[in-house]
Amino acid sequence: MRTTDRRRPHRTIPYDGVLALLVNFGIAVTVGLYACGSHPPTLTPVGTAAYHATQVVKALDVLRDAAIDAEAQTPKLISTDNTRKIVTFHEAAVKAIHASPGGWKPTVVAALAQLQHDILPAEWSRLLPYVSLVKSLIEVTTP
């Protein structure tokens, strides 16, 4: 009887798993951004701006929550001082969005750039996926 060695070759990187994750992440981000980028057709421009602003606030919440969770780990993945900077940025950005639902974009984008300047690159890199989410959502939801 002929036997076949079905063992898979040794790999140091799980390519299949990585590929599957990338495919699903791509689908989820595409669908998610599409869902967030659209808006209820019954809204006027004022309501649409408020709706989009709410989506960006929620994305900023994800960034803030990720930082707080990282700070709560032992050892800390993000220092308390840098987490405080992120929380302070979040509060200022959210208040700016609330004060001007139609004109907050330059303020928030500039504040995000300043935040990146103030935080060590090693810690910033841990937040990069969440920052990318915020930036993508800002691009999708604002003209």
Closer CB to another protein, residue 1 or residue 4?
4
- Residue 47 or residue 103: which is nearer to another protein going by CB? 47
Decide: residue 24, CB within 10 A, 0-12 exposed, 13-18 middle, 19+ buried.
exposed
Binding residues vs another protein (CB under 8 A): 8, 15-17, 19-21, 23-24, 27-28, 31-32, 34-35, 38-44, 46-48, 50-51, 53-54, 57-58, 60-61, 64, 68, 75-76, 79-81, 83-85, 87-88, 90-91, 94-95, 97-98, 101
Identity of the residue, 1 or 35, whose beta carbon is nearer to another protein in the bound complex: 35
Q: What is the b/e burial string over 101-135, where b = at least 16 CB atoms within 10 angstroms of the residue's CB?
A: beebbebbbebbeebeeebeeebbeebeebbebbe
Token couple for 24: 């699903």
